Chains A and B, each alone.
Chain A
Amino acid sequence: MSTTAPIGEDKIVAKVTSKHVPIYVMGKRYDVPDSLTIMKAMEYAGYKFIRGCGCRGGICGACGTVYKKPDDYKIHVGLACQTVVQEGMHLTQIPFYPATRTVFDYEQTPAVAEAVFKAYPELFRCVACNACTKICPMDVPVMDYVAAIKRGDFEKATELSFDCIQCGLCASRCMAEMAQYHIAQMVRRIYGGKIKPKATHLAVMVDNVKAGKFKDGLEQLKKADVATLKQLYMSKDAREIEPNMSEDEWVPTNNAYL
């Protein structure tokens, strides 16, 4: 490896002349710029991640982090890649937490609440302690979606759990010992695939493609030289642009290749 310079993000760190504050990573003190996220602060301190770092954009669920502040009893939580350090915080990442996931045969599973109850009977151990909701770094109302699942309201559960990034922190806190996020995943799939109305226009298109409806047009394009393609591409007739504010009511005037 080239030893000349580390690449990329170090420049971001170096540029800002911010104040340094102490943070405690698993109990050990490091002084880091106060403008950094926990993830960049740990890298600033010299950590190199294998676990606990994924998309660095707040969606993959790899860097769930819990921390305490000096003067309150609460457990605070955040994604290391999204949460800015605070003076005196004591933190640890929880990059993984063991969780029960029940294998189910998706094709054979009926779209009924009982199928989920059978796969995850521990649902009914929930006492509504709400620790799950409190620890969720995405502000997902976990207790509420569990309640919705228990009463078979999969639409509501899908809506409430939709921002879940499956980091597993809810499961780490659950006194009923369930893995809420796996249950929600099963529910969302059943809802999306077996309850929500299907797109009939899509099925028609799939059939038309299979029947070879567009084959000739595509053959012409494949054989066309670059000049012809450019001409077609820029032509207001051959390639009409759908207006941005239109809904599905818009129809092109030239329908030769529809």
Chain B
Amino acid sequence: MKVSYYPGCTLKTKARNLEDTAIGALAVLGVELVELPRWNCCGAVTSLAQDDLLHMLAPVRDLIRAKEQGSDKLVTICSMCYNTLARANLLMRNDAEKRDALNRFMDEEPDYAGEVEVIHLLNFIRDEVGWDKLRAAVRRPLTGLRVAPYYGCTLVRPAEVAIEPAVDATVFEKFIEALGAQLVHNPGAFDCCGSYQILSHPKQALAASAELLGKAKNKGADVLALSCPLCDYNLGKRQNELVADHGLESKLPTIYFTQLLAVALGLDSSLCHFELNHEGTRSLLEERNLISTVAV
């Protein structure tokens, strides 16, 4: 099966570990992610501003690219890209006035009215692959690994674009269980990591990160699974500061859900680029014999 795929900038640079594992794992599951031939930055948070129509140009153009390819579905992996694209799509579907304004401004593009459906990879696996098929494809069950899911904000807020309704969401949990891991129910699964507040209000952001990592840690998690490079920047990459100054008792490795998938499907661990992860992630998986030890 082929599906149009929007990568997002971060996945091409700092989060190659997120993209490569997704592409590799999905190939095993019989799905080819076909990258859009032309695409630009989704616009990230700038497009979330309420009244700034201009910032909708970037994500809407990406949706038009998918439509041009003849696709009715566009898969994306990064939570932030998902959120931006899905919200832009919603606007094009529901707000006739703004849709006309944007279509008129982009007079070099075909008109767009939300014909493409934006799908996060977790939902795509749920609906198009299915848990049974996924379970059957696992070669190296993550037995004994205690994994806490982390949705953060952007997969579930606002409600109109949530991959599943926030309080009742189970897609991430089912995904973890299908891989043979031990699910840790995470009370902080929907908390905010602090996001871009890290730039304007670093203290508050770091405190939020420390608190939510603590929640998962207290439930006995070995590792926190996530799907967003921006979340990982706050949660995974800054843990030294969190431990030193913000009351986090001890570190908790973070991992992209696609990396868990790649490991469970038995793919070569070089695909995982663990060097881009939290420092403890690789050693955790090595200790549990889930990946082989490589000389660094």
Contact = CB atoms under 8 A, between A and B. Distances in A.
Interface string B103-115: 0011010000000
B57 A151 contact: no
A133 B13 CA distance: 25
A129 B13 contact: no
Interface in B32-50: 38-41, 43, 46
A60 interface: no
B41 A150 contact: yes
A199 interface: no
Given A126-B58, A129-B105, A151-B13, 17 more contacts: A127-B43, A127-B46, A127-B58, A128-B40, A128-B41, A128-B43, A134-B108, A147-B38, A147-B41, A150-B41, A151-B7, A151-B9, A151-B12, A152-B12, A152-B13, A153-B12, A175-B54
30 contacts: A126-B58, A127-B54, A128-B40, A128-B41, A128-B43, A128-B58, A129-B54, A129-B105, A130-B57, A130-B61, A130-B106, A130-B108, A144-B38, A144-B40, A146-B40, A147-B38, A147-B39, A147-B40, A147-B41, A150-B9, A150-B40, A151-B7, A151-B8, A151-B9, A151-B41, A152-B9, A152-B12, A152-B13, A153-B12, A175-B54
Contacts of A39: none
A146 B61 CA distance: 14
Nearest to A117: B13
* Chain A interface, DSSP helix/strand/loop, else mixed: loop
Nearest to B40: A147
B126 interface: no
Interface of B: 7-9, 12-13, 38-41, 43, 46, 54-55, 57-58, 61, 105-106, 108
What size tier do the contact residues of chain A reach? 10 to 19
Contacts of A150: 9, 40-41
Contacts of B38: 141, 144, 147
Nearest to B39: A147
A129 B108 CA distance: 11
A113 interface: yes
A42 interface: no
Interface of A: 113, 126-130, 133-134, 141, 143-144, 146-147, 150-153, 175
A170 B249 CA distance: 52
B115 to A, nearest CB: 19
Contacts of B13: 113, 151-152
Contacts of A129: 54, 57, 105
Nearest to A114: B13
A128 B60 CA distance: 10
Nearest to B107: A74
Given A143-B40, A144-B40, A147-B40, A128 B12 contact: no
A135 to B, nearest CB: 11
Contacts of B106: 130
Contacts of A130: 57, 61, 106, 108
B57 A127 contact: yes
A77 to B, nearest CB: 13
A143 B39 CA distance: 9
Nearest to A133: B108
A175 B46 CA distance: 15
Contacts of A128: 40-41, 43, 57-58, 61
Nearest to A128: B58
Contacts of B108: 130, 133-134
A113 B7 CA distance: 17
Nearest to B105: A129
A152 B13 CA distance: 6
A129 B8 CA distance: 18
A85 to B, nearest CB: 25
A126 B41 contact: yes
Contacts of B57: 127-130
Nearest to B12: A151
A227 to B, nearest CB: 62
A203 B38 CA distance: 37
A133 B38 CA distance: 13
Nearest to A143: B40
Contacts of A146: 40
